A and B are shown apart, each in its own frame.
Chain A
């Protein structure tokens, strides 16, 4: 008794080799994708941080301006106290109020 031999139209070894090669390429490709993803993430994160630093610098200028205005001695700058104060009901307010 002999088992009938299975005849395939291609070599199993060749098919396996091909599959391995495809998987290797796919693996390398995925590594490239992951590295690119990481690089972009870092780049975007750094970009955000740099922008925040620039904003903080602008805010520093704003706060310095607030401090300068607050500490201004208007009498020394030549302004006199008002002779009288008139209290009125506010009719309108500015956008910031």
Chain B
């Protein structure tokens, strides 16, 4: 009985040992004998987390209905590499690769030089082959030619919001990382450490139990959801291209923002670039001019001067002054744009007729200390927008005591701010006197599955709601009475706006008399705005006033937004629904 038991034990042991040996022999053949062959086959089929395959989180646009559309994603395909040590026939290999894909293949001369480097075992010769192209080339099983998986950053919109989304490239190190825009600002969220695919099961189980429950990486890495609406962005960009083309401007830019939250729906500058064609990009275009560059905006500063005066109580909408057309301050002459006097007129006309003498008068009434206080609050700090390299305003004239400097600043000369600072400040007029923080990202969708909504709650009260409302009334009159001689008025929608035309600095302490910076700001509905639009065009040719260059563009965007978002009418319709009430000849 005991001997029988022992023999059975030995038999089972023998079977187990044989099975073990069998497995070991099989592993030897798989991993050692045919290891390279299987590795190549696997490389053709799968991404290898440990092989340096590029990985990065996505950036999304947000449509008006909440649908997410990729602004930056990953594309996958194949890279072709040669091993000069085993490449038997370079000419045949080149011809075979060229047959499949020639767009990214090295030139014949460069390929021959690469094939001659017998000391090297791996040289990449063609990139970004499609799946079909890669599979076709791999099927030919060319000796010395490897077809491997690769992934790269891809921007489905090409140039859409390119300067805000940013680019990914090699910086100082050998790692792909965000270099501009949101790619940089949220690089720590978007970048992937690359070793997440292969995990040591035992190490995870025994030495890092905590990570099995809460993975710190998954709680940090994720995708970015922006507030940019792709169709609004496309519309803005298209309009800016038209303006630049029509007036041969050096550049044109625009921002569309929700004045209540600071969420930016569109932000664009022309010229821009195609983010999928990095080799053709002019490096000067890589930044975001709307955040980095400062300009003297001209008369769109007047509503801020006016609101400061109203808020301080030094003027009311009914206050009058005597407009003489020109005044002399500190031996300098300040004149209206047409040099003409208006006589005794109320405050509203300063905004409606864009009178420099009137703005100077308000600044004088306000006094330097209060003017300094208001404008320091408005422009003394960066906005904190989530785009890198934000520029700082040039407000040195606020520190002087010469009244002429304050008078100039009252109508937007002698003070340089970024477009994003300008729309934040003007947004206060559309938001009950409170400035909000402009931003481009609303949420981060973490890999852990949690969506973290970002808080952009920084609010800076500047003006009283009453002062902001009174200025909005004056700006509404600009559209209803002045813009396109009143034809711009929309019967069912109050729209507040202001034009700005500033002389460009000549770099020698003075200003050109025939070169201008045009700007335009507007918001609607005037007394409960959903959108604020800031536009500018720099150095337009053969045109003097912003109402000519940007008025049509502003109205086009306004009508588009009203229709696209179905903004309900705020005037011109009776209580009964469905009644056609106003008709206007087109």
Which A residues form the contact surface with B (CB < 8 A)? 9-11, 14, 17-18, 21-22, 24-25, 28, 30, 33-34, 37-39, 41-43, 45-46, 49-50, 52-53, 55-57, 59-60, 62-64, 66-67, 70-71, 81-91, 93, 96-97
Contacts and interface: CB of A to CB of B under 8 A. Distances in A.
Interface residues of B, number: 64
Contacts of A38: 197-199
B5 A89 contact: no
B contact face: mostly helix, strand, loop, or mixed: mixed
B121 interface: no
Nearest to A24: B20
Nearest to A95: B65
B48 A42 contact: yes
Contact of B17 (A21, A33, A42, A83): A21
B501 to A, nearest CB: 28
B201 A37 contact: yes
Contacts of B154: 53, 56
A contact face: mostly helix, strand, loop, or mixed: helix
A11 B9 CA distance: 10
Interface of B: 2, 5-6, 9-10, 12-13, 16-17, 19-20, 23-24, 46-49, 55, 58, 64-65, 69-70, 73-76, 149, 151, 154, 156-158, 160, 197-202, 230-231, 234-235, 238, 490-492, 565-566, 568-569, 572-573, 577-586
Contacts of B200: 34
Nearest to B68: A59
B579 A62 contact: no
B238 A71 contact: yes
B73 A87 contact: no
A22 B16 contact: yes
A10 B579 contact: no
Contact of B156 (A50, A56, A86, A89): A56
10 contacts: A14-B10, A18-B16, A34-B202, A49-B151, A52-B58, A52-B74, A55-B73, A70-B231, A86-B580, A87-B582
Contacts of B566: 90, 93, 97
B47 A49 contact: yes
Contacts of A66: 230-231, 234
A86 B580 CA distance: 7
